Amino acid sequence: MRRAVCPGSFDPLHHGHLEVIARAAKLFDEVIVAVSTNYSKTYRFTEDERLEMTREAVADIEGVRVEPMGDGLLADFCREQGAEAIVKGIRNAQDFNYEVPMALMNRHLTGVETVFLPAESAMSHVSSTMIKEVFDLGGDVAAFVPGAVLAGLERTRS
Ligand code: PNS
């Protein structure tokens, strides 16, 4: 069983994440989408909301399950789950420069390897932060998020 972890805050999950998860599911027997919660960070959505929206969004992708990761080390989570790889999407050089030191540290900690997938160009400008800002300012983000996330965003509208 070749198992990989796709980690993230998923606050909220968007189509760029989904694209990477779907591609990872073709490369590995099982993909665990790890929803992290750093307890010193502020999120738009609670951990339960992020888990629920993410589970609904990946329901049709075979071989994928969604688990909470808490605020521990990603490398430890991978070891506990029996995952040999972390899969991350890379949108640009900034992502690459940010991710490579983390990949090397994770490998140092437990031997887990990181696989980088280049983001589809149509998704390379998309981020959770940008989606929240555009949504809050009245912009249409329906093209970038699954239905469950759009409904979740609507619920947060004050
Ligand atoms: O979606 P995000 O917020 O960019 O996800 C970042 C995440 C969760 C992948 C990253 O913060 C992470 O790996 N957190 C776990 C803590 C950890 O292992 N830190 C050491 C990294 S070398």
- Report the residue among 10, 50, 79, 102 best suited for mutation to probe ligand 1: largest number of ligand atoms under 8 A from its CB: 102
Which pLDDT does position 121 carry in this prediction? 82
What is the reported pTM? 0.96
Q: Quick one: how far is CA 83 from the chain centroid?
A: 16
- Ligand 1 midpoint to CA 8 (Å): 7
Q: Are 50 and 11 in contact (CB under 8 A)?
A: yes
Q: Which of 126, 115, 95, 149 is nearest to 5 (CA)?
A: 115
Residue-wise pLDDT for 60-115, tens only, equals 999 999 999 999 999 999 999 999 999 999 999 999 999 999 999 999 999 999 99
Which pLDDT does position 158 carry in this prediction? 67
Q: Which of 14, 50, 88, 128 is catalytic?
A: 128
User: Residue 83 contacts by C-beta under 8 Å, 6 or more apart in sequence?
Assistant: 3, 4, 5, 32, 77, 112
What's the sign of the alpha-carbon dihedral 18, 22, 23, 25?
positive
Tell me which residues have their CB closer than 6 angstroms to ligand 1. Answer: 7-9, 36, 73-75, 102, 105-106
Query: Within 2-146, where are the H helices?
Result: 15-27, 47-58, 74-81, 93-110, 128-136
Residue-wise pLDDT for 23-74, tens only, equals 999 999 999 999 999 999 999 999 999 999 999 999 999 999 999 999 999 9
Quote the crossing angle between the two packed helices 93-110 and 74-81, to the nearest 10°. 60
Report residue 124's pLDDT band, with 50, 70 and 90 as the boundaries.
confident
Which pLDDT does position 80 carry in this prediction? 98
Q: Are 56 and 27 in contact (CB under 8 A)?
A: no
* Token pair listed for 85: 């790889």
Which pLDDT does position 123 carry in this prediction? 81
